[in-house]
Amino acid sequence: MKKADVITLIIVAAVVCGFAFIPGAWDWFNTTTKNHGLLMSFFKFAILGTFGEMLALRIREGMYMKKGFGLLPKMLVWGVLGVVIASAMTIFKTGTVALLDGGFHLNGKAASWFAGDLSWGKAFVALCVSVLMNTLFAPVFMTFHKITDIHIVETGGSLGGFFGNKLKIRETLSKKINWDIQYGFVFAKTIPLFWYPAHTITFLLPPTLQVLFAALLGVALGVILSIKK
């Protein structure tokens, strides 16, 4: 185990112990999440999403950071994507319940199940939300994230380079994304095999924990993808 691994473990343990043992820390987290949901989503994903990429780099290349990694641009992108994800979760939760109750004539049962205690009905609604969100929203989200990753690499990993160069979306889509991997693995395999069940669990959690758990899933997927590579 390297020195960087020890430092990382100490930091993670300190954060966990802080929430577990500091009086009022967890209450502050829940209250702030409830009152400032999108802002908290930004910071949750900026920290955890970037940490997931650092773990992935550690698994692939034996280091948490390297030249051109782009720590600040990645944190910024993850933070913005966190706000988008949190918004999408709210939209799809509300829309899916309305679709089930109205389009499938459940007459309020879906809303009742989803708002109630853990049950098969609630699990069914959570699965429907997960399937719709990951089928309709996730491919666009994942593709845009891939475009920004390529842009960060090509501009040297600096904030100045990130903002000082045009984001070449059309060129990146047509020439720089490996669609055999992006579609054949990321879309076709991770969405149904990982994201459908993972986000079903997410939507069964209390609302204040859903975005946090979604960010943690990003860390887990980063590790899984690194192992595959």
Using CA atoms, how far apart are residues 95 and 42, in angstroms rounded to an integer?
23
Domain boundaries, the chain: 1-35, 37-228
- Give, for 141, the enclosing helix (H) or strand (E): helix 138-154
* DSSP structure class, residue 51: H
**Per-residue model confidence as pLDDT tens digits over 53-62:** 998 888 888 8
**Per-residue model confidence as pLDDT tens digits over 126-164:** 999 999 999 999 999 999 999 999 999 999 999 999 999
Q: pLDDT-derived band of residue 19, with 50, 70 and 90 as boundaries?
A: confident
pLDDT at 71 over 90: yes
Q: Which two tokens stand for residue 177?
A: 């994304």
Greatest alpha-carbon span in the chain: 59
**Per-residue model confidence as pLDDT tens digits over 97-116:** 999 998 888 888 999 999 99
Using CA atoms, how far apart are residues 70 and 37, in angstroms rounded to an integer?
26
What percentage of residues in the chain have a pLDDT greater than 90?
Answer: 70
Q: Which two tokens stand for residue 77?
A: 């992108």
Chain center to CA of 104? 30
Using CA atoms, how far apart are residues 140 and 128, in angstroms rounded to an integer?
19
Q: Which residue has the tokens 């802002």?
A: 39
79 contacts: CB under 8 Å, gap ≥ 6: 42, 43, 45, 46
